Amino acid sequence: MLYVLRSGAAYRMQAGSHDIRILNEIWLDRVYEPDVDFRVLDGWTVLDLGSHKGSFAVRAALAGPRTRVYAVEPAPENLRYLNANIARNRLENVLVHAAAISAEPGEALLYVSSRGSGTNSLLRDRVKGDKGASVTVPTFRLDDLIKTAGGQVDLMKMDVEGAEYAVLRAASSETLRRIHRIVLEYHGVTGLDAEAV
């Protein structure tokens, strides 16, 4: 289905899926903008880790032509929508990485959930009991992405379905100091007893 927002942004999303919920969370609820300091400004460098179909990447890129967005998404079906949504909005300031951010560079299995395209995970137990398939995807570390992005990041949005802790723990202290704002969703990490946005 095609959704055209009042802002003029347009998205192609899967009909009957939870994609519209994700679109609403980003555009209406602004879950990744907890206060005014997190609203993307023209000229910012933004990392969108777990870009899904581009709801946040497009929103961030529309902040202005000098904004640079690095969208990271490993799932082939999501990538098709992500690239189409970037093209649909005529954005030239988004660079898509068809890979998963991970603690280790190389390859990993991505478990593709049958419950929704926003719940794919590198962690098998995140899709436990699911009859979804798996696909091998390339992986790279946050340290390498920061270098690709020019060494400084104004905002990093992270929703990588359970891999958040491992990704951040594997990053160097120098890398983490180069990120000025982090907004993330975390999922059931051992030793933590709650999930939150």
Closest CA to 126 of 179, 180, 188, 52: 188
DSSP 100-159: EE-SSSEEEEEE--SS-TT--BSSGGGGTT----EEEEEEE-HHHHHHHTTS-BSEEEE-
**CB 101 within 8 Å of CB 145:** yes
- The predicted-structure confidence for 40-59, as pLDDT tens digits, reads as follows 999 999 999 999 999 999 99
Is the pLDDT confidence value at 97 over 90?
yes
Three-state SS at 91: coil
Is the pLDDT confidence value at 126 over 70?
no
> Would you give the end-to-end CA distance of the chain in angstroms?
27
Calculated CA dihedral for residues 74, 112, 166, 195, nearest 10 degrees: 120
> What is the pTM (predicted TM-score) of this model?
0.90
Residues of the chain above pLDDT 70, percent: 89
Phi, psi of 195 (to 5 degrees): -110, 145
Residue type (1 letter), 20: I
Q: What is the pLDDT of residue 186?
A: 75
Identify which has the larger pLDDT, 131 or 2.
Answer: 2
- Dmax (CA) for the chain in angstroms is 44
Three-state SS at 82: helix
